[in-house]
Amino acid sequence: MAHPDEGYNAAAHYLSELDQDWAHHIATTGPCLHQAHPAREPYEALIRAVAYQQLHAKWVI
């Protein structure tokens, strides 16, 4: 699995090349320090989201 910094660096490079305003914002803000720690496995989160949507759907007649 790739190190999180590699993903950030690739995204920052892409956005910096895309637009001068993005480049300035990224240079000013610095690297993303957020480290996600998912509470659930991806499959479990997907199943819960689908079930929630099905149980709480608003029907339009």
How many angstroms separate the CA atoms of 15 and 27, rounded?
11
pLDDT of residue 2: 53
Residue 7, both tokens: 């993903």
pLDDT of residue 59: 57
Residue 19, both tokens: 């637009």
pLDDT of residue 41: 86
How many angstroms separate the CA atoms of 54 and 60, rounded?
14
Q: What does each of the 61 residues of the chain score in pLDDT, given as a tens digit?
A: 455 567 788 889 999 999 999 999 999 998 888 777 778 788 998 998 899 888 876 655 5
Number of Cα atoms under 13 Å in the Cβ half of residue 15: 14
pLDDT of residue 7: 77
Please state the pTM of the whole predicted model: 0.49
